[in-house]
Amino acid sequence: MSAGAAKLGDRSLFPDLEPRVYAHHAAIAPVSTVLQAAVADALRRYAADGAGAFPEFYAQRQRLRGKLEALIHAEAGSVALTSNTTRGVSDVALSVPWRPGDRVILFKGEFPANVTPWQQAARLYQLELSWHDASDYLSGRDDALQRLDRDLQRGVRIVAVSAVQFQTGLRMPLEEIGRLCRQHGAELFVDAIQGCGAIPLDVQQLGIQYLACGGHKWLMGMEGSGFLYVAPASAQKLVPIVAGWQSHEEAEDFLSRGAGLLRYDKPLKRSALALETSTLSVLGFVALEAGLDLVQHLGVAAISAHLSEYLDRLETILLGRGFRSLRAKDTTARSTILSVLPPQPLRVLDVHRGLAQRGIICGVPDGILRFSPHWPNAFSEVDVVAAALDEIITAQ
């Protein structure tokens, strides 16, 4: 099976998937037959050849970096492979040449992956954290942007925000935030794991200097593989706190190019690649490329449009049953996540359990019912959810 077999609304590349409706991609994507075949092939190659297989998968990772750059419209050589989002956030948070008292803007409501590393950096480098509230962007975007503007006027080094809020699915106004950052000399760091693969993202157009992402959600890879973008000008300034043998220029030359190349004084790479440090997960990045190929074959814009219609339909049936939608009214602030709260006396966890018992898998992050379908989800599934909800409501 190849990525070319992927079709919107068709889950035939997921024959092993057991739930009737799998709407939990904001957590972990299920494994496609394309991914299974790619990983099995990599294992066969290493079983047959051992180190002889290394160059092929070294080249595969180089190809993958290029595909990830294309996905986010990044400059060549600006994307490094990482194990997850947090690793990318941490690497940047620890490698910025901070001055004591530097200020970082964080957002309440964010997934902790984009908070903890900054708190850690604040402790280590005596930074000041300035808290804003992501939910303000749902209730009054212009006021929230004005508050951000006022705070930026006080001097800020980095604004760290998610492209899409993991709980509500709110798409943050990155273009406006990026413009304000530029006006006030701040840099923009984006946790893009809830966006990459589902909504279009262009780091250069949005004015993003750093973007961290994991591969196991909308990119359809597996846990343990992700990537980090660092804009070339920002990479020049980073001082990697954790560096390894592959952080150097011409890091591998001594292994195959003859004597005299084993040295410890080669300069560190002046790009995101310095942060890769050493040996990477072969299978993790084979899986990530397989997932990304599926997404790119269909196109992020087409996936986004498919999911917008799916979620419109789903929202209608939920509203009709008294649920409160947390989806933004402004369509440009919507993502591929739909979160709702049930009407009294229904309780979120009971609805979630009732849906799971009927083969419908979604999430409940911090007590909110969250639906996150992806391109294989068919519109007909919405009727399955509607019937299940009617049973749950009647049984109440």
Ligand X SMILES: Cc1ncc(COP(=O)(O)O)c(C=O)c1O
Nearer to ligand X, 215 or 354 (CB): 215
Q: Which one of 166, 227, 229, 285 is in contact with ligand X (CB under 6 A)?
A: 166
Q: How many angstroms separate the CA atoms of 159 and 152, rounded?
A: 9
Nearer to ligand X, 161 or 318 (CB): 161
Q: Which stretch binds ligand X (CB under 6 A): 81-89, 92-100, 345-353, 385-393?
A: 81-89
The residue nearest ligand X at its CB is: 214
Nearer to ligand X, 212 or 388 (CB): 212
For residue 35, give every residue at least 6 positions away whose Cβ sits within 8 Å of its Cβ, in sequence order, or none: 220, 221, 222, 287, 290, 291
Planar angle of CA 131, 186, 146, nearest 5 degrees: 55
Residue 193 in contact with ligand X, rule: CB under 6 A? yes
For residue 339, give every residue at least 6 positions away whose Cβ sits within 8 Å of its Cβ, in sequence order, or none: 167, 168, 169, 325, 326, 327, 368, 369, 370, 371
Least distance to ligand X from the beta carbon of 255, Å?
31
Nearer to ligand X, 22 or 111 (CB): 111
Nearer to ligand X, 96 or 228 (CB): 228
Burial degree of 202 (CB within 10 A; 0-12, 13-18, 19+): middle
Q: How many angstroms separate the CA atoms of 364 and 379, rounded?
A: 22
Q: How many angstroms separate the CA atoms of 232 and 226, rounded?
A: 19
Q: Which one of 32, 194, 304, 372 is in contact with ligand X (CB under 6 A)?
A: 194
Residue 22 in contact with ligand X, rule: CB under 6 A? no
Q: Which stretch binds ligand X (CB under 6 A): 124-132, 186-194, 240-248, 377-385?
A: 186-194
Nearer to ligand X, 162 or 234 (CB): 162
Interface mask toward ligand X for 98-137; x: CB under 6 A: -------------x-xx-----------------------
Q: Using an 8 Å Cβ cutoff, are 340 and 324 in contact? A: yes
Residue 14 in contact with ligand X, rule: CB under 6 A? no
Q: Which two tokens stand for residue 370?
A: 């969250």
Q: Which one of 69, 187, 191, 315 is in contact with ligand X (CB under 6 A)?
A: 191
Interface mask toward ligand X for 82-101; x: CB under 6 A: --xxx---------------
Q: How many angstroms separate the CA atoms of 294 and 199, rounded?
A: 15
Q: Which one of 90, 162, 325, 336 is in contact with ligand X (CB under 6 A)?
A: 162
Q: Number of residues interacting with ligand X: please give it, by CB under 6 A.
A: 13
Nearer to ligand X, 69 or 191 (CB): 191
Extract long-range pairs of 35-40: CB within 8 Å, 24+ residues apart. 35/220, 35/221, 35/222, 35/287, 35/290, 35/291, 37/1, 37/290, 38/286, 38/287, 38/289, 38/290, 39/283, 39/286, 39/287, 39/290
Nearer to ligand X, 112 or 267 (CB): 112
Least distance to ligand X from the beta carbon of 216, Å?
7
Q: What does the binding site for ligand X look like in residue numbers (CB under 6 A)? A: 84-86, 111, 113-114, 162, 166, 191, 193-194, 214, 226
